[in-house]
Amino acid sequence: MISLVKGDITKDHNVQAIVNAANQSLLGGGGVDGAIHRAAGPKLLEECRRLNGCTTGNAKITNAYNLPCEHVIHTVGPIWNGGFQGEETLLSKCYENSLKLAVKNHIRTIAFPSISTGVYGYPVEDAARVALHTVNSFLSDHWQEIDEVKWVLFDDRTYQAYQKELDKLRNAGELYINKMLQNSAVAKAYGDAMDLGNLMTIAPHKKRYYSRYDINWLIDEIDLGKKHSYVTFWHENAGYENGIFSQWYHDPGCPIIINGREYLTAEQYMMSEKALLFGDLESYSKIMSEPSPRKCKQLGRGVKNFDQGIWDTAFREILFHGNLGKAQSDIQFLSALLDTEDAVLIEASPYDDIYGAGIEKQDLLTIDGELKVHPKNWHKEGSSKQAENNLGFVLMGIRDLYNDLMR
């Protein structure tokens, strides 16, 4: 994925390598170059002395020493001379050659600064365009070898310039994740004529998919002696397996795009649609500007003019659309969902008996993956209400939709 953060590239950004915007000597300098050398310690300079410098547009790799990553990739950006001395080509080569080194050294996660936009004077807006288009193009061909490319940007102006270019790519459908889908085995099975970006509008009989499974279906299956495997999930937080299936899961590099609008999480989409359904534009505005899924849920609970009967007839379709949009926007989510094959998906939340089972995994399944508790007895502690597991069943419907389209 491609993502942007504002901060200091020498801090921990959970990547295997960071890129240094170096000078030709590779012996340190000002700006990002100096900061990386200071943070890495003197052993970085010792190793760089043995590299005999680097020409503009090329890249070399070293260890990271005291930095919180494994490697530093040093690349030399062009000095801006009005754009008439091949600066764009050289800047593009910086990114391309850095990524080639990453692939060669089995580096799957990498962070870049904004190369050449400091003392070298390259206009930030132009540099952002070159950077994002180059990396996007590279990832289109190497998406199986690189998991994440992020830019760590120091100031607001630079961050906004890169965000603007990233938005252009995403809105034009040119972001590598779309090409990745088109080139994947999943997409090939759909046929070249299929427009993945319009899956929601062309999917036949959508209701059949979001209403196909429910708790009564599972109860009947088990009572008839049918065997199933089970996959559980809960929060997106570290420590809970399959957290990518959570309504609260947030990938900064893959916002959910539905009807041209961006949503940070499926929870934000669902609660915003709830507010719109009941005409509460004030709550809708607050939800759309709220990054926390927990707070989105709280705001959704306070929607004015709420009618439980109306919501009961509408929420399944909204849940379906939010997660279908997530599948369209995030290849990792879609791949994880398809990897569950024909398993029954269960939100193993002890607190949620509407979207989940009201029971945690360790109380729900044996070590061998067999059910400890018959689904007719799923409920939250202290409650006799039949748990519904709506999120798990809707995700199964989305999985069926993709599998049907692949046949």
Whole-number Å distance between alpha carbons of 69 and 185: 33
Cα distance between residue 92 and residue 48, in whole Å: 23
Alpha helices of 72-184 — where are they, by DSSP H? 87-104, 124-142, 156-171, 176-183
Q: Is 173 exposed, middle or buried (0-12, 13-18, 19+ CB in 10 A)?
A: middle
At residue 236, what are phi and psi to the nearest 5 degrees? -75, -10
Q: What angle do CA 177, 180, 182 make, to 5 degrees?
A: 115
Contact of 287 with 300, CB cutoff 8 Å: yes
Local structure of 19: helix, strand or coil: strand
C-alpha separations of 383 from 216, 352, 353, 359, 386 in Å: 19, 11, 9, 11, 8
The separation between the first and the last C-alpha atoms of the chain, rounded to the nearest angstrom, is 28
Distance CA 59, CA 63 (A): 14
Residue 202 and residue 199: Cα distance in Å, rounded?
A: 5
Residues carrying an active site annotation: 33
> Rounded to whole angstroms, how far apart are CA atoms 179 and 379?
43
State how far the Cα of 49 lies from the Cα of 96, in Å rounded to an integer: 24
Residues 6+ apart with CB under 8 A from 83: 126
Q: What does residue 111 show for φ and ψ, rounded to 5 degrees?
A: -120, 130
Buried b / exposed e over 19-56, threshold 16 CB at 10 Å, is: bbbbbeebebbeebbebbbebbeeebeebbeeeebbeb
